[in-house]
Structure 1
């Protein structure tokens, strides 16, 4: 499974909202400018996040978006599933070999476990403590 720009930029939006949680609404324009992304593309991504109940929109001159709940309660899995769909390395209906099917299921479950155990709060407070296997985010 390859995470597309939808998933990566969606995480960017949500991390920015998490960083500013409690400070009021954040405009997509400010996020787009900070990360040098297309505001129009971010507008396309925010709609499914809003429909899924992960963000709320605030109208008005100082409007924008806020998280619908604390960053500790939103996982990267929640975001990726909304924007990318189900987490699956292959279509299991096409796999007849039980050994390979078991491999794909274990891979899927491992990916899901990492995504579901990584909250927005942990992403915005991540510190590389000298681990060679640490995460690298290119946004």
Structure 2
């Protein structure tokens, strides 16, 4: 399973909003320049995230985007699913019943992999990402 640019870029952009949480809105230009992502692509990603209630827009000359919730209330899984859809390791896992389930040796493995991925992304918040980054830079 490989994340598309939607998930990778969207998570970076939302993380930038988390870094600026409580400091006011962040412009698309600032995010675009920092991460080298086109503003129009960011607009598309943010439209989905705004629709799902993770970010909000502030209009006007000092406007931009901000998190709609606290960084500790938004998980990586929430952002990735909003942009990518459900995370799955195999098409057979997403089906309720598979005709080969009784003889399939790999289904159990794919389920374990998927459960592990979901466990990780659902238990890391934007606040956790901030703390991890802070620790990396203080260790150097």
Secondary structure in 2 matching 1:80: helix
Secondary structure in 2 matching 1:17: helix
Measure, in 2, the Cα distance between the counterparts of 1:63 and 1:128.
31
Runs of at least 5 residues in structure 2 that lack an aligned partner in the other structure:
none
Measure, in 1, the Cα distance between the counterparts of 2:37 and 2:15.
15
**Could you tell me how far 1:103 is from its partner in structure 2?**
1.2
Segment drifting more, 88-97 vs 61-70: 88-97
Report 1:62-77 matches (<5 A).
62-77=62-77
Maintained 8 Å contact 1:95/1:101: no
Maintained 8 Å contact 1:71/1:119: yes
Larger Rg: 2
TM-score (norm 1): 0.87
Runs of at least 5 residues in structure 1 that lack an aligned partner in the other structure:
130-139
**Could you tell me how far 1:116 is from its partner in structure 2?**
0.4
TM-score (norm 2): 0.86
Measure, in 2, the Cα distance between the counterparts of 1:8 and 1:60.
28
Measure, in 1, the Cα distance between the counterparts of 2:36 and 2:84.
22
**Could you tell me how far 1:105 is from its partner in structure 2?**
1.0
Picking from 128, 131, 134, the partner of 1:125 is: 131
Secondary structure in 2 matching 1:125: helix
How many residues align structurally?
129
Q: Superposition RMSD on alpha carbons, in Å?
A: 1.6
Q: Who is 1:14 aligned against?
A: 14
Where is the helix percentage greater, Structure 1 or Structure 2?
A: 2
Measure, in 1, the Cα distance between the counterparts of 2:84 and 2:35.
21
Q: Who is 2:119 aligned against?
A: 113
Structure 1 runs of 4+ off > 6 angstroms?
none
